[in-house]
Structure 1
C-alpha cells in the first residue's frame, strides 16, 4: 500500500486519467469487434428473417453498456475535478499552518520561561509584592494554556493534511486497481461481445462509490492566524516587571523598586504606581 504521506492531488488525478484511457481503449476494441461480427453476420444472413431486429438489438445492448461505463467514468472525473480539485492545495496549506503554529508555540514557551523568572524582585516585600506575584502567576498560566492551544492546533493541522492526502491516496490506489482490471478484461469470445465494457461497468461504479465515501472525510482549510488577537493580548498583558526595574515601557524603567508596601498593583498597567511612588518618581525626574 502506498503511503499517504506526501501524496498529491496531481498524482491521484493522473491515475484517474490513465483509467479513462484504458476505458476508452476497451470500448474502442469492443465496438470494433462488434462491428466486425455484424459485418460477418451480414454476409451470411443478409436476407434472413429478423436480421434487422437482431442487429438493432445488438447495437442497443452494446450502446447501453458503453453509456453506463462512460457515465460512471464521467461521474468519477466530475468528483475529481470538483470538490477534490478545490482541495488540491489544502494539505500544503495545513502543513504550512502547522509549522507556523509550532513556531509560535516555541515563542510562547520562551515567554512563559521569561515570565517565571520575573516572580522574584529582590528587596521588595509586602502586599503589593504578593499582588504582583499573583499577576505573574496569572500571566504564566495564560501563556502555558496558550502554548497548549497552539501545540494542539498544530497537531490538528498536521492530522488534517494527512487526512486529505489519505483521501487522494485512497482514490489514486483504487484507480490503479480499476485501471488494471479494465485493461486486462477479456476480449470477445464465442457469441459474447462487449465483454471488456461489461466487465468495466461494475469496476467503475464501485470506484465511484469509493470516491464518494473517501470524500466524506474531507476537511476544511486551516489558518495560522485564527487566534492572532488572543495571542497578542496574552503576550502583552499584564505588563510585568523585569528584575531590578519598574514595569517595562514606563519612564521609570531601570529604577530599582524600593522595599515598600505599594510599589506595583495587581492591575499590571504601565503607570501602576502608588501616590508616594509617583511623587518620588517625579522628584527623580521621571515623566509619568
Structure 2
C-alpha cells in the first residue's frame, strides 16, 4: 500500500517510536493524526511536520469517550484533506513493574494492574475497533483491493517476560495473540494486521531506567549491543505499510535479544 495520499492515526505519536514513524510517514507523502496526552511535546512536532500534514488530538486511550471524540475529529479532518485513513498504529503504552507478590507476601496492587492493562491492551483494542470503520469504508486503490493496515506494538516481554513483568507481559502477549484473529476478521475488507515486538528501544519509557538496569539488559543482547533507535522501528513499520504480503504476523525487532529471568 502506498503511503502517499493517505492518513495514518498514531496513538502515542508525540514521542519515541510513534514520533519517528510520524516523521517517516509525512516524508513519504502521507498525513498523520497524532493522538497523545502531551501538548508540550506534540505541538512542536506538528509545527515541524507542518499543520497541513499533521494534526494533534489530545486523547487518553483508556477512555472510550475520548477515543470516540478523536475519531470524529479525524473523520472531519480527512474529509477536508481528501487523504483517506489508511492506517491505524496504536503505539501508546506504559510500563509499571511489580512482583505479583512481594517478599512481605503483599499481592500486586490491582489498581496499578488495571491502569497498565487499560492503556496497553484495552486502549489498543478500543482505538483499533473505533477507527476501523473509517478504513473499511474507503475505496481500494490497487488490484488487491487493499484498504489499509493496522500496526500494533507488542514487546519482547510477550515472549520472555522478566520478574516483575506479569501485568506488562500479559498486556503485550495479548496484543501479539490477537494479531492473527484480527487479520482474519479484517481480510474481507482488505485490511492487514501486523504487530511489531521490539526489545529495548530508546523511548520515554526506557529513558527513566536506572543505568544498572540498562546495562543488565545490554548483557542479554547479541548484536547490536545497544538499545534500538526509534528510526529503526519506523523503518520496519514503513515496510509493514508498504508490503502487502506482511499480514497476520508478529515481527520481533530485537537484535536476537532473549531476556533472562532477571537482571
TM-score range normalised by the length of the shorter chain: under 0.3
Structure showing greater radius of gyration is 1
| TM-score, with structure 1 as normaliser | 0.21
| TM-score, with structure 2 as normaliser | 0.22
Q: Looking at secondary structure, tell me which structure has more helix per residue.
A: 1
Q: Looking at secondary structure, tell me which structure has more strand per residue.
A: 2
